[in-house]
A = this chain, B = another copy of it.
């Protein structure tokens, strides 16, 4: 842990990785199950998971031949705290946010 913000933000900049995090929000998952909805090789997903792990955004625990991935919220929360210092000066334009997020959530799992 104590991963620099560099790694956290870089990890979050990829839509596949954000989709993976969203999936892990629901439940812990094995690597194969994480990969299943994506049109990508297992090795590709494995790399993404390694990047998320390096950034501290997830933890991976091997149990038998299955490696379980679980969300590790502290890293993302630290980044949130850093970012919020920039938001406290203007009144929040919530409508703009919702429009903003709508774009991302309209295609919610970039699952494919």
Chain A interface residues (CB < 8 Å from chain B): 1-2, 4-10, 12-15, 18, 21, 25, 71, 73-87, 89-90, 92-93, 96-97, 99-101, 103-104
Contact = CB atoms under 8 A, between A and B. Distances in A.
Given A2-B103, A87-B80, A12 B14 contact: no
As for how many copies of this chain the complex holds, the number is 2
Contacts of A1: 96, 100
Given A74-B97, A80-B87, A103 B4 contact: yes
Given A1-B96, A21-B86, 8 more contacts: A10-B10, A10-B13, A13-B13, A25-B89, A74-B93, A74-B96, A78-B96, A80-B87
Given A4-B103, A10-B13, A13-B10, A83 B76 contact: yes
